[in-house]
Amino acid sequence: MPKSTDIKIVEAKFSTEEVPFRTPLKFGGRVMDSSTLLNVEVIVETRNGKQGIGIGSMPAGNIWAWPSSVVSPEDALKAMIEFLEEAVEIANICPEVAHPIDLMYHISAEYHFMAKKLSKRLGLEEEIPELAQLVASSPLDAAIHDGFGRANHINSYNGLSSEYMTHDLAEYLDDQFKGEYLDQYTLRDPKPNLPLYHLVGALDPITEADISERINDGLPETLGEWIKADGLTHLKIKLSGDNMDWDVSRVVAVENEAAKAQAERGQDTWCYSLDFNEKCENVDYVLDFLNKIREQTPAAFDRVQYIEQPTNRDLKANPENKMHEAAKIKPVVIDESLVDYESLLLSRELGYSGVALKACKGQTESLFLGAAAQKFDMFLCVQDLTCCGYSFLHSASLAARIPTIAAIEGNGRQYCPGPNKKWTRSYPGMFNITDGTVKTAELNGDGLGF
């Protein structure tokens, strides 16, 4: 039955913005020194004529979303920008008047065919992968959800019940969710604060001895400086996955420096997440690594909160990569492989015990996957794509509305803090970090909350 709160898209438009990095970021054997923000603005209108303007923004993240041996990063970025342009064109001619979930369901139904056609037209040697499609279109998804809330003068997370949605979750997932709506898996108010995961990238200096030349831009540079300045209690360590000695020594070095800095500030509890960016050949590498960490630095082993996707993202092509044994030791979360409900079900079969939600995979998909992960009692975290400015606030608002989220990442402040400046005055608790947490209570406005 139609709802008066349903919206139609009056106009959608997009733009791009180049963001230089203050320091390079290395992950999965690749180095980034800049990113391109994809920005979308939509005007929406309810059935009874109320209008709202919604905004979405996300880094293109092509190096992460589309690591290819046959398509250059430049061509991948170009294709992702054109993919968003075409998604915006589809939104502009979309005749539907519906809830944002259904609007995105309708629009995203075109993505597979669109990606095929676009890849052929651009002469690419491989099709735009599903993850890259999700990342490219995520600003449009966010803008539609944001506009819906603003047009109806509600927080968008409070428009997920049967009062606003036409269909229950069984329509989008399966019959296990019959009679259930997304309001059962989201909070009506954001959590007041969340611990912030700080990234220790492979190129990042841990001690003063690791710095050849200081940036001297007023921000911390060594790990110890960051811990003291921001009161950090959560550290995410990037690892190589194909160099055991380096990986073990990296964790030991982080533990030594963190212990020193935390002792100086009187802090005795902190934790780590470990990210191999799919570079491990198999689960045996993970098991050997964990054994060596436990032997060499038991304290660091105890601090490990979870491990991110250690092996290849193509689960179907690598069914031998089962995580059951590793997941008995620490939660192992699915990340790059997670693009839809089907991939979540497959990851569970392969032994993954947790889910990394990312706003860059789309607001709609993130809400579905967050609900499913809770249903199946999986470990949940929200990670970012070096999100800055608006995109970081979006990522944080998502984390603050999912009940079981353990912490949030936010490394834009380390690598590309420029776009944060215009938001800092309005949301100081999100960008001025002093006790290792972000003050997500600030994200309680209409739309996506900010």
Q: What is the pLDDT of residue 39?
A: 98
Cα–Cα distance measured from residue 128 to residue 111, given in angstroms and rounded to the nearest whole number: 10
Q: What is the pLDDT of residue 1?
A: 80
Q: Counting every residue, how long is the chain?
A: 450
Beta strands of 73-209 (E only): which ranges? 194-200
pLDDT tens-digit map of 224-252: 999 999 999 999 999 999 999 999 999 99
pLDDT tens-digit map of 260-301: 999 999 999 999 999 999 999 999 999 999 999 999 999 999
Q: Structural domain boundaries of the chain?
A: 7-171, 194-442
Q: What is the pLDDT of residue 93?
A: 98
Cα–Cα distance measured from residue 197 to residue 409, given in angstroms and rounded to the nearest whole number: 5
Cα–Cα distance measured from residue 152 to residue 329, given in angstroms and rounded to the nearest whole number: 46
Nearest alpha carbon to residue 134 among 167, 104, 102, 170: 104
CATH class for the region spanning 194-442: alpha beta
Question: CATH homologous superfamily of domain 7-171?
Answer: Enolase-like, N-terminal domain (3.30.390.10)
- Taking each helix axis as running N to C, give the angle between helix 130-151 and helix 111-121, from 0 to 180 degrees, rounded to the nearest 10: 130
Cα–Cα distance measured from residue 48 to residue 52, given in angstroms and rounded to the nearest whole number: 12
Cα–Cα distances (Å) from 316 to 43, 211, 326, in that order, read: 40, 42, 19
Q: What is the pLDDT of residue 27?
A: 82
| Weakly modelled stretches of the chain, pLDDT under 50 | none
CA dihedral of 165, 98, 144, 15, whole degrees rounded to 10: 160
Q: State phi, psi for 174 to the nearest 5 degrees.
A: -160, -175
Cα–Cα distance measured from residue 177 to residue 169, given in angstroms and rounded to the nearest whole number: 5
